[in-house]
Amino acid sequence: MSTPLPLDPDGLEVRTWSPGDAPWAQVSHSESGAREARFLPRTQAEWDWVLGQNPAGARLVRACRGGQVVTSALGLAVRTRVLGETQRFTNWLASGPGARGEVGAGTERAWLAAASAFHAEYLRPEVDLLHYGWPDAGTRELGRVHLEHERLCVQSLLVRDTGPATSAELGAVSPLVRALARFGPEADVLYACCATHWNASAIRDAAFLNWRFVDHPRYRYRLLGVQSGATLRGYAVARLGDELGPRQELLLDWLVLPGDEEAAEN
């Protein structure tokens, strides 16, 4: 069962999630329109995927009052190779204190209690090496003031216009490229060959790739690979991204054997 922390004076109880707790869909609540909300679980299948199937384990803290969930802090943990050792980085999907439209001192206190407990439970060397995320402006300021969060960088989105191509041309791929249904041991070999060139990288083995893309309960991804015999020379993962506009496709992951320019170009 989850581990309860002491009640605060206004009756707030903060609990870390563990297998055996109440049905996971019950911990969800209405979210704001911030970027992070698109990644938060909405259905029982999505909670199962986040908490029960992630190869890196579950990350969830709930703040409750009177048996009702007030707010929560949720993370997507990823096994990460750092200087040759396996660590875990967690993408912190922390819905802000105004996620239910109830911004106020009490709501902020509840959110800060959940966020503080989340870091205390998981942000330690034997669990997570790093927590990161993309909070909205209000959540970011609360984190800066109360949680020692700091802004590291501003992300860029690179866009390529395909030009006046027909639908058939847009769907065409090189004869070297084939659609993949799932990832197998060949993906482990591909990542191992690439990882030696990096100081830090998410571990993109078959277990991670199948969980993250193939078995995702909400989104359907297009998996493409360049393969020679049993060797996977490279892959790309994409999905339609309606959040960017009509007929937009997001390139979400791309990995190619070092020096294999033919696979990279295709």
**Minimum mean pLDDT among 18-22, 168-172, 195-199, 259-263: which range?**
168-172
Given the structure tokens 């590291």, which residue do they identify? 152
User: Does 4 have pLDDT greater than 80?
Assistant: no
Q: What percent of the chain has pLDDT over 70?
A: 79
The span from the CA of 44 to the CA of 16, in Å, is: 18
- Residue with the larger pLDDT of the pair 137 and 238: 238
pLDDT at residue 26, as a whole number? 57
pLDDT at residue 172, as a whole number? 58
Q: Taking residues 106-114, what's their average pLDDT?
A: 85
The span from the CA of 33 to the CA of 39, in Å, is: 11
Question: What single-letter amino acid sits at 233?
Answer: R
Given the structure tokens 């992951």, which residue do they identify? 253
User: Does 8 have pLDDT greater than 60?
Assistant: no
User: Does 38 have pLDDT greater than 80?
Assistant: no
**Helix or strand or coil: residue 139?**
helix
The span from the CA of 6 to the CA of 196, in Å, is: 45
Task: Count CA atoms within 13 Å of residue 237 on its CB side.
Answer: 18
Closest CA to 218 of 41, 51, 52, 28: 41
pLDDT tier at 7, thresholds 50, 70, 90: very low
pLDDT at residue 68, as a whole number? 82
Q: Strands, E, within 1-136: which ranges?
A: 3-4, 12-16, 58-65, 68-82, 85-93, 130-132
pLDDT at residue 42, as a whole number? 78
| Highest-pLDDT range among 27-36, 90-99, 209-218 | 209-218
The CATH number assigned to the domain with range 3-146 reads 3.40.630.30
Q: What are the residue boundaries of the structural domains of the chain, listed by start?
A: 3-146, 167-265
User: Does 30 have pLDDT greater than 60?
Assistant: no
User: Does 34 have pLDDT greater than 70?
Assistant: no
Closest CA to 148 of 128, 123, 172: 123
**Minimum mean pLDDT among 17-26, 142-151, 160-169, 228-237: which range?**
160-169
| Highest-pLDDT range among 3-7, 117-121, 152-156, 239-243 | 117-121
Closest CA to 69 of 13, 142, 137, 118: 13
pLDDT at residue 23, as a whole number? 61
pLDDT at residue 19, as a whole number? 80
The span from the CA of 161 to the CA of 245, in Å, is: 13
- Residue with the larger pLDDT of the pair 29 and 260: 260
Torsion 19-20-21-26 (CA) sign: positive
- 250 φ, ψ to 5°? -95, 130
Closest CA to 29 of 75, 73, 69: 69
User: Does 99 have pLDDT greater than 60?
Assistant: no
Q: Taking residues 134-141, what's their average pLDDT?
A: 85
**Minimum mean pLDDT among 89-103, 176-190, 220-234, 244-258: which range?**
89-103
pLDDT at residue 149, as a whole number? 93
pLDDT at residue 221, as a whole number? 96
Which pTM was predicted? 0.84
- Give Cα 22 distance to the centre of its chain: 23
